A = this chain, B = another copy of it.
Amino acid sequence: MPQRKSGHVTLLDVARACGFSVSTVSIVLSEAPLSQNVAEKTRQQIRAMARQLGYHPDASARSLRRRHSQTIGVLAYDLSDPFCIPIVRGIQAGLQPTSYLPLLMDAQTERRLFDSYLKMILERRAEGVIVIASWVFEEANLLADVEKNHVPIVIVGRDLTGRGISSVLVDNEAGGALAMRHLHQLGHRKIAVIRGPEELFDSEPRWAGARRAAEEVGIRLDPRLVLQLPSMVDPTSGFQGGLSCVRQMLASGLKFTAIAAFDDLTALGAVRGLTEAGLRVPEDCSVLGFDDVLPAEVATPGITTIRQPLREMGLLAARWTLDALEQREKSAKRPAPRLEMSPPELVVRTSSGKPKRRSAPS
């Protein structure tokens, strides 16, 4: 029983155990073209022995020699945000049919971790990098390092084409407009808005879209009913934010029949706030979210929301990365960055409805 000190079974072990050279064993087990020349009997013998010993090729040695790792680094800003998961799923789906494997990292909304994981991805010689980053990051310096090593990179959730990086994100403005138009069609005229926190990239375009749509349909948005979430400390803090915004609105005594919230968790916070005050959703006040994450779907009432095609976005990011790898084979020069603004979609659930005739909470 050939027990290596390293604890791992190597080609040499298998070779010795069945009396062939390391080369032959390698050729057979890696199914190299040359393996057609190897006698069927030999192949069977080698494979049997490899299985018996529990041989697994050493990925380090292999990628060192082959000069590629078959790996795509996937760096998510925070996996505890339900927003990230479908994107990751899309990426996985896009990589599945190829021989590339995702190397998944979770930065936990910590700049320090983000940096160190990105470094690690580079050290592991990932051949491409996909960054999921709706959160605030000043990626400038480290992403530069990625480029310096000629590793193609795609970012999901932010537009960084200005810095030469291909970007996939939802059309936030269209989404904001979609929300506003839906509320208008239901008959709402006094609409409160909870904007995203200042430092979040998505906040501005969503608000711009909502404002534009409101103007188009002739709704006047009362500035006193347009609140802004405070800075977020983690992905779920939108809930608390939504809750306190609604308390504030109710305390103000102003009338409103609907709330367009920044995202689904904010919307859930709003529902909580309204319920606390004895108001019913949607009878007394409609609530709209954004993103379409799991909690919005399984809450009761189900949150009407603006769905981001997250899975598709992840899929696209994977495809672009693979494209870039192919391109790199052919031409040396770096292709121009690409931009996708995916169309959002209105998902009507039960948190929105027509306003009561005798309107207004409070």
Contact = CB atoms under 8 A, between A and B. Distances in A.
Interface in A17-69: 54, 56-64, 67, 69
Contact of A106 (B7, B104, B125, B294): B104
B59 A123 contact: yes
A336 interface: no
State the copy count for this chain: 2
A63 B271 CA distance: 52
A120 B100 CA distance: 11
Given A60-B60, A298-B236, A149 B54 contact: yes
Interface stretch (A80-88, A161-169, A206-214, A252-260): A80-88
Contact of A60 (B63, B119, B301): B63
Contacts of A9: 149
A198 B137 CA distance: 45
A174 interface: no
B298 A239 contact: yes
Interface string A241-281: 00000000000000000000000010011011001000000
Contact of A80 (B61, B85, B125, B268): B85
B106 A103 contact: no
A9 to B, nearest CB: 7
A299 interface: yes
Contacts of A79: 79, 85, 88
A89 interface: yes
Given A80-B85, A239-B297, A295-B295, 15 more contacts: A7-B149, A7-B151, A9-B149, A54-B148, A56-B119, A59-B120, A59-B123, A60-B64, A60-B124, A80-B86, A89-B108, A104-B104, A268-B298, A269-B298, A275-B300
Interface of A: 6-9, 54, 56-64, 67, 69, 79-80, 82, 85-86, 88-89, 92, 101, 103-106, 108, 119-120, 122-125, 145, 148-151, 236, 239, 265, 268-269, 271-272, 275, 294-295, 297-302
